[in-house]
Amino acid sequence: MPSDIVIKCSKAIASKGWNIAFAESATAGRMSAEFALTENSGSILRGGIVCYEVFVKEQILNVPHTVIEKYTPESAEVTEILAKQSSNIFNSKITVAITGLTTPGGSETKEKPVGTIFFYIITPSSKIIHREVFSGNQEEITLKAINKTAELILSSIDS
């Protein structure tokens, strides 16, 4: 069941007559699923793509290999490209891209520990760029990132 903030965000998007699409790496489709479980899903959910593996980022969403090599697959730079490419594909009013580290074994460093999530959200009125480090296990980090996405969208809609 989606969280209260995801439900509230879904209602706010519907009230604007907008739709939403996702490019999900770290959350691997869970965000699309959470929004799909809201009562407004039929009117707001445009679609999504899971781009967990580098191959999908490069071959389907056209992230240049040089960008991935320079910044890593889990970075603000890659997340921005994912958002822009997905916005073109889905022609959505709101496009969310998310990358990050929910488990060890990726590109984590002291400066970018497990739990680091990168958000790039395109709305009709703004571009939201956010980085946050969440604590917890893989599912907890994923759910916190989904709730943060809803919070960031709501803040944008309300402002």
Q: Residue 106: its pLDDT value, please?
A: 84
What does the block give as tokens for 114? 């497990």
Q: What pTM was estimated for this model as a whole?
A: 0.96
> Alpha-carbon torsion 22, 23, 27, 30, what sign?
positive
Q: Report the C-alpha gap between 44 and 53 in whole angstroms.
A: 27
Q: Check whether 159 has a pLDDT greater than 90.
A: no
What is the 8-class DSSP label of residue 124?
S
Q: Could you read off the pLDDT of 64-110 as tens digits, one per residue?
A: 999 999 999 999 999 999 999 999 999 999 999 999 999 998 899 99
Q: Are strands 20-24 and 94-100 parallel, antiparallel or unpaired?
A: parallel
Q: Residue 42: its pLDDT value, please?
A: 97
Domain 4-158 listed as CATH 3.90.950.20: yes
Give 55-120 as a DSSP string: HHHHHTT---HHHHHHH-SSSHHHHHHHHHHHHHHHT-SEEEEEEE-SSSSSS--SSS-TTEEEEE
Cβ–Cβ < 8 Å for 113, 40: no
In the chain, where the domains are located: 4-158
